[in-house]
Amino acid sequence: MNAVADTFAATSGAALEARAWAALAEVEDPEIPVLSIVDLGIIRHVRAGADGGVEIGLAPTYSGCPATEVIRASVEAALGSAGLAPVAIQEVLSPPWTSDWISPAGRDKLERYGIAPPAESVSSPRQIGRAHVALNCPRCGSERTRELSRFGSTPCKALHRCDECLEPFEYFKCI
């Protein structure tokens, strides 16, 4: 290969990866459809292969989250319809996914959807061991909220209630 061909290969690899990222940004989380899997922060890497295919690094949120299998299927389908094949999905366990991987855009979307986003960073050593954080109601903004149930409708959520507007709301757990 000469230098021009090398440059071309690099560019087309980058173009493939950009197309893959764009396609992935359209894949919804099956349990929180307002979030894309890119917002959720579970796509660790996208690598163009020499054969025109792509390798995707996918980090599961919870070890036993049933959505993981649906997400894998949706990723393959989305990349397939974007003309990217073959697709290899690699599961990435380390470093583990935490709620800190949710993008700022994803946090905004969660809040607008009525799910309180994770209230704190779990990566900061100062936060470890802290039990209680004041949560704002995603509907009325009040701080007068309390936990109803530490576990909710999906592994990633807990159930809270606002004592001001009296509405229950879901909270995306910090983990």
Residues that bind another protein (CB under 8 A): 60, 62-66, 93-98, 122, 131, 148-153, 155, 159, 173, 175
If the CB atoms of residues 82 and 175 are measured against another protein, the closer one turns out to be 175
> Up-side HSE of residue 107: CA atoms within 13 Å toward CB?
13
> Shortest gap between Cβ of 55 and another protein (angstroms)?
19
User: Residue 169, Cβ neighbours under 10 Å: how many?
Assistant: 21
Q: How far is the CB of 147 from another protein (least distance, A)?
A: 10
**115 DSSP assignment:** E
Do β-strands 168-172 and 115-116 pair in parallel, antiparallel, or remain unpaired?
parallel
Smallest gap from residue 129 Cβ to another protein (A): 10
Nearer to another protein, 95 or 141 (CB): 95
Which C-beta is closer to another protein: that of 2 or that of 94? 94
Taking the C-alpha atoms of residue 74 and residue 35, their distance in angstroms, rounded to an integer, is 14
